Structure 1
């Protein structure tokens, strides 16, 4: 009987000890968690300053400006500000500009990205990634915009003779990569290489500079007008083509009986009279 009482007492002691241990463990965990919360809440947000502060974009393309912020609290939002006019573009993922080319994305817990679509030359400059601390912290990124050069040889006006071969050359330079495509327009209409007119071909040379040659055989009056080179880089060039109409000074006409007669143009007729008059005066002086 004594042995049974001893075992029961021992069991109660063990259970009590385990309960006490678990209680102490819970209290210890709560204290540790509280200390961690205090520790992390006391850390100020800061930028990852290893990110590049220079970004280069090609005009007409989409570019991304990124900054990383550590220890950002849930109620804090990262803002993007355009430095030259101190305009707030975005806060968090909300946009505060009427220019719909700008937007913000939160890719990861730390990374905040300003997206600029269809980059324009005027977008070049400094942008600030800003976090709302006291005082506010800012991380500046400089956006460089590459503007390619597009030109047509002989512009703004090019003259060719009727019946000759037209060769328009468009040169694209100062671009990190060749354009994906190049279209030619004649008076705002795309040049159709397989049109009934025929004799139209395009040759493209890729290299440090890209050249597109629009070749039109047997120039005619209807080929006159504006020709525009439109590559995929959102820059264009235009030339005004003039096809010269070289009419002969006199024309050969056929009469009703089949015989031929020569008709002089008024200018040639007047010159003939003047020449004959001058010759007569000269002969009179000599005689």
Structure 2
């Protein structure tokens, strides 16, 4: 609660003093982008366009040596969405995912809706504070004829793992025209996985030829990790697989039963 109040204290006076927002909280793209105040070089896009129903990725890069706190705010209703790795919204579609070395704090919005269009602010608590505005432009969903040109095929298979072990999931993406890694979301039972738990999850990728292999490593798996895992991305086929964790005790009992039967057969000869 203290953290949330601290961030709102920084953000609200800045917006209400310098900007005009209508009664519905709407703002033009130009007004949104005019908010920017930064002391460092900006590499992320200021305008993100995505079709309804697809995930949106809003990037916020911070200086290499910075350990500053990063917060994402939706200007339409002044809602604090995330602060650091924590979420402050009940909308499960929103997730923050710090990329390599936490230099790029990506606000992920799954299954975007037309109502998600608007201005989003990334604030870095530098001195003075750094503000990065990103305008999200949600376009109407593609018509069925357009979707048919690049069908989204779902692949699913069963993966059985031993309790207490490490589960490794792979997601392979072919990139015939570019080798730049794209943003993907790892989900479990259609819910975004909280990758900020570094002791439990570790995500990475590697480039082999014209293929990018994304990996998700899950440590110390248990029956609570049972479910359907999938990797999803903009304009990518959804790849999924079911995971079932076998309890150690049941495996040992089965092995002991086979061993007992084998010894009994030997002695009965």
The two structures have a TM-score, normalised by structure 1, of 0.36
The two structures have a TM-score, normalised by structure 2, of 0.38
Query: Which of the pair has more CA radius of gyration?
Result: 1
For CA contacts below 8 A with separation 6 or more, give which structure has more relative contact order.
2
